Chains A and B, each alone.
Chain A
Amino acid sequence: MRIKIEKRFYITKWQETLIISASIVLAFFSGAVVLHFLGVSPLEAYGMMIKGSLSDFYGISETVAKTIPLTMCSLAVALSFTMVVWNIGAEGQFVLGALACTALVRYMDIDNPLIMLAAMGIVASIAGGLWGGFAGFLKAKWNVNEIITTLMMNYIAILLLQYFVYGSWRDPTSLGFPMTPLFPEGARLPQFFGTRIHAGIFFALVLAVLIWVVVRKGVWGYEIRVSGQNPKAADYAGIRSARNVMLVMFISGAIAGLAGMAEMAGLHRRLQPGFAIGYGYTAIIIAWLARLHPVTIIFVSFLFGALFVGGENLQIAMRLPLSSVQILQGLILFFLLGGEFFRNYRISLTFKKR
């Protein structure tokens, strides 16, 4: 018997779906092994996760609340991935957006809530955009690897956040907890139906459609797709790739920054260190799973939202650490990337008579 590995030419839709489904099933299966060694019944744990996130109105509303930042961050990274520019820094850009809009609330007094929220959105987008755009500038100018710069800048962003919430921005009445004072009424996005679903959901939906239109129908979207697929053909077409790298990183960062603002104004309404729980990293997995398709991203984000909420339920009900959910996420990514191999190659066994 011989094992033969051949490169694939073509892959059908259902083969692709099969590969992705198999990756996820295998991830949950290996997750079950981990859960078993953590001393809980895997079935019970998975049941608990589904119960907490999808079985009732409250659970679903919580899942949707998490879907909002996940969708926005995923759209952000998906846009850069379209150009094959690897923005791994959505987490940091998300934090920068939150920091910038909190600074605005703290230092500017604007009475009109509409103007206030618009201004918050703008400064958050610019802050996130500059944070991402800087990495884009380094890449365009000196070909500095954006994976490393964006990743490193995440740490800077998170430490900056801690500097402010533990330091000069700390609420004097918070009894020492690291958090800023609550935002005033005028700096909050409305929440609906008595749940934590907030107006940020419209940002996410509108952005998804907008990005789909720009990438599929727009001149600029076409340019970044060409640059991503074949940089030399981009030169041949007279596309200014260096400018587009900076632009794509700026816009990608701006979307993540806006997500940070929505998370502040819609959900937490104050800056505290615990709000950045890895949405920016999870976004990478989501964008990959959704094959960078903006509308698919919404649905995949919802599933990952459920994973987050279910994970919280797991922490509370079974006293498992947050990292157990992160292990599960890691396993999903691991198997997805492994599945990539099967997208590109075909393995066949041949039995040969001697």
Chain B
Amino acid sequence: MKMRGITKSFYGMKANDCVDFDLRGGEVHALLGENGAGKSTLMSVLCGLYHPDEGTIEVEDQRVEFRSPRDAISRGIGIVHQHFMLVPSLTVWENLVLGSKDLPFVVNEDAICERIKDLSQRYGLDVDPSAPIWTLSIGEQQRVAILRMLYHEAKILILDEPTSVLTPQEIEHLFSTIKHMKKEGYGIIFISHKLREVFEISDRITVLRRGKVVGSLNAREATPEMLAEMMVGSSDTGEIPRTKKSPATKGKPILIAEGLVVRNDKGLVAVDGVSFTLREGQIFGIAGVSGNGQGELAEALAGMRRIESGKLYLVTEDVTSASARHMVDLGVKYVPADRKGVGLVPNMNVAENVALRKYWHSPYSKGFFIDWDEVHRHSKSLVESYEILTPGLDVPVRMLSGGNQQKLILARELSDNLRLLVAMQPTWGLDVKATAFVREKLMSARAEGAAVLLISEDLDELLALSDELAVIYRGKIMGILEGPGAGDIERIGLMMAGISSNS
């Protein structure tokens, strides 16, 4: 497969600018780049979702033009999206045949399941064909998504950030499947921004930056420093500097959770009897595969979700049923995972978004009115001290980049009496610079004596930053490690998969 001179623009901005990319059978070609570098756009062009403004695609030396993903699949190109795009209420086999053109009027379920079982066995993609999707774990769902492409006889597989939702053990399993498929002659495009994984799995690496190919090289010849430089234009590998010193004495407890039980939006128990203690000057990390109760726990601590049972104390005050506003007033701040969906009002301007978590108390409001002059003054100083790039305070925050949006949230949450910061996925989707900035701010909050609860799916981040690390699985804490290090990864991985460290 060859892509030549692919150009695709959105809003007049070139997401892909004259990109060349090719893939041979039996190789893994990694596509590396920051968020927004144009990886997803390029792959969407390849799988028929977007039509390129310019450029050509050739498959087996034949010029092709895709009008829809169906065209691409018929030429053997299939994509496994980051969010698998499966129908949760349908079974595995139903999801697989979805979109088949030549399905007979009466479907022969047994024959289909038989074929699925064959494929699963061959590539170690173990799933029950008649299980509904919603009963499967994330790892299993990914297997289904890959199987779907194999079922449609794809020869070229695009895996879009496939590891971001998996436990370390599941990642290993996925890699062995990829290696097996490689041997059988499949071509695989592996999209990621994690250098470690790219080195482990790929034969060739192409780096994109700002829509352009920076370079393409054999994995054997590459070094992490080279790739990092190609990705961001500097040799910063995004490694987290281990500047922290363990506190000489354990800080005083700030927040004590005792047997918290919290339900999710569907009314099911999402946090199931969680207990821990957060101390001054300490970063307490929570690891876990997403959807194991992290979001509900964070919301409960921020006063946004009702605590069904258990107790929550802030030093000595019982805050089990405190409101979000009361928690802010007590110095408990929250950086939600969903920046634009929860943390900000995208259509409102910078100053109005700064006011979001402060507007009810002085000096920002007086009686029935908000003192917008005061809010503007405060916003101006935050924008300056956090180096937030914005054309002005009156610009809607949806116009800001993700990194600057996150900086704005951090600036708002960290200013005014901070005692505890609950940070959920604070570096998700940010580029290297913004990521480093956020981590630095978390460390300085810790240095100033605040407690930080860091919920993340990035194990490297958690290991580098946390003084203590808890692993959550199905709403329960599987274990807490003090001063975790790289040597604990396997143990953490097992706990993330629900295998307790004691057993």
Contact = CB atoms under 8 A, between A and B. Distances in A.
Interface of A: 6-10, 217-220, 222, 225-226, 229-230, 232-233, 235-238, 350
Contacts of A9: 11, 399
Contacts of A232: 338, 341-342
A236 B370 contact: no
Contacts of B360: 219, 238
A132 B325 CA distance: 29
B148 to A, nearest CB: 29
Contact of B345 (A218, A220, A230): A230
A230 B348 CA distance: 10
Nearest to B340: A230
Contacts of B304: 235-236
Interface stretch (B73-81, B97-105, B350-358): B350-358
B356 A226 contact: yes
Contacts of B326: 238
Given A222-B355, A233-B345, A6 B11 contact: yes
Nearest to A213: B369
4 A-B pairs closest in CB distance: A238-B325, A238-B324, A230-B345, A232-B342
Contacts of A229: 345-348
A181 B328 CA distance: 59
B409 to A, nearest CB: 10
A237 B354 CA distance: 11
Given A217-B372, A219-B370, A233-B344, 15 more contacts: A6-B11, A8-B11, A10-B399, A217-B370, A219-B359, A219-B369, A222-B355, A226-B356, A230-B347, A232-B341, A233-B343, A235-B324, A235-B342, A237-B359, A238-B325
B323 interface: yes
B368 A218 contact: yes
B345 A226 contact: yes
A236 B347 contact: no
Contacts of B328: 238
A190 to B, nearest CB: 32
- Kindly state the interface size class of chain B when it binds its partner: 20 to 34
B50 to A, nearest CB: 11
Given A219-B369, A220-B368, A232-B341, A237 B324 contact: yes
A222 B352 contact: yes
A230 B343 CA distance: 10
B348 A219 contact: no
B334 interface: yes
B365 interface: yes
A163 B334 CA distance: 56
A180 to B, nearest CB: 40
A25 to B, nearest CB: 28
Contacts of A237: 324-325, 356-357, 359
B303 interface: yes
Given A6-B10, A6-B11, A226 B348 contact: yes
B412 to A, nearest CB: 11
B336 interface: yes
B369 A233 contact: no
Contacts of B53: 350
Contacts of B341: 230, 232-233
Contacts of B323: 238
Nearest to A9: B11
23 contacts: A8-B11, A9-B399, A217-B370, A218-B368, A218-B369, A218-B370, A219-B365, A222-B352, A222-B355, A222-B359, A222-B370, A225-B348, A226-B345, A229-B345, A229-B348, A233-B341, A233-B344, A235-B304, A235-B324, A237-B359, A238-B323, A238-B326, A238-B360
Nearest to B347: A229
B11 A236 contact: no
Contact of B342 (A10, A218, A236): A236
A236 B359 contact: no
A350 B325 CA distance: 52
B365 A236 contact: no
Contacts of B303: 238
A199 B148 CA distance: 72
A233 B342 contact: yes
A282 B160 CA distance: 50
Interface string B272-315: 00000000000000000000000000000011100000000000
A9 B11 CA distance: 7
A119 to B, nearest CB: 26
Contacts of B342: 230, 232-233, 235-236
Interface string B356-398: 1101100001001110100000000000000000000000000
Given A218-B370, A219-B365, A236 B357 contact: yes
A90 B344 CA distance: 32
A260 to B, nearest CB: 27
Nearest to B346: A230
A218 B370 CA distance: 6
Interface in B1-57: 10-11, 53
A226 B354 CA distance: 12
Contacts of B324: 235-238
Contacts of B347: 229-230
Nearest to A234: B345
Contacts of B302: 236
Which residue, B344, B368, B399, has most C-beta atoms of chain A within 10 A?
B368
A236 B369 contact: no
A230 B304 CA distance: 15
A210 to B, nearest CB: 12
A141 B184 CA distance: 59
B145 to A, nearest CB: 27
A6 B50 CA distance: 12
B343 A236 contact: yes
Contacts of A230: 341-342, 344-347
A30 B267 CA distance: 53
Contacts of B355: 222
Interface in B310-340: 323-326, 328, 334, 336, 338
Contacts of B357: 236-237
